[in-house]
Structure 1
């Protein structure tokens, strides 16, 4: 998997890391790696993906208050338990952003 990068981020991501499972799939599947990159770029611009309205509001507040941010992105081209869902979590102190599958949380 190539290095992940962000452009015009609305907040600091800190170090960007992925779990082993996400990393391995991204190395095997260039389309999945591209999905991760696009999702990460959405996350850093405040597009929280496939979260409900309450979670969107929570993230918008977290952006102002400096607390944890959680985005959810789905792409059914990469089935894992029926649907490929990744979570992107940026810690409140903005020291690290982690890309993971929900069952790895």
Structure 2
């Protein structure tokens, strides 16, 4: 990937209201990952397992006020998405099947 491996804890986006689907919470619990860990990564600009083009697009979306999508792969290979809406009103933690 063409992104840094270290991210300072400096917020890049406002998350708004934070919500999560039951499936995402169950997956995080099953994998021993606290939801806040993914939220911090997302809010600080670590977009996870997106391709380099989507990483760049997210960086542009932060600057221009568009929707931002992060993808994180759990130890059991399940993918969890974190999406912040364009107006920064809500950030949702969900499984791709929940979309």
**TM-score after normalising by structure 1:** 0.77
Paired position in structure 1 for 2:68: 69
Distance between the aligned counterparts of 1:43 and 1:27, measured in 2? 15
Paired position in structure 2 for 1:18: 20
Distance between the aligned counterparts of 1:73 and 1:98, measured in 2? 13
Distance between the aligned counterparts of 2:74 and 2:22, measured in 1? 19
The number of equivalent residue pairs is 91
Gaps of at least 5 residues in structure 2 are: 1-8
Paired position in structure 1 for 2:58: 59
How much does 1:20 deviate? 2.1
Paired position in structure 2 for 1:103: 97
Distance between the aligned counterparts of 2:56 and 2:28, measured in 1? 34
C-alpha RMSD of matched pairs (Å): 1.9
For residues 27 and 65 of structure 1, do their structure 2 counterparts lie closer, same or farther at Cα, with a shift above 3 Å needed?
Answer: closer
- Name the SS for the 1:47 alignment partner: coil
**TM-score after normalising by structure 2:** 0.81
Where does structure 1 differ by over 4 angstroms across 4 or more consecutive aligned residues? Answer: 26-30
Distance between the aligned counterparts of 2:78 and 2:50, measured in 1? 15
Choose between structure 1 and 2 for higher RCO, CA contacts under 8 A separated by at least 6 residues. 2
Paired position in structure 2 for 1:9: 11
Paired position in structure 2 for 1:3: none
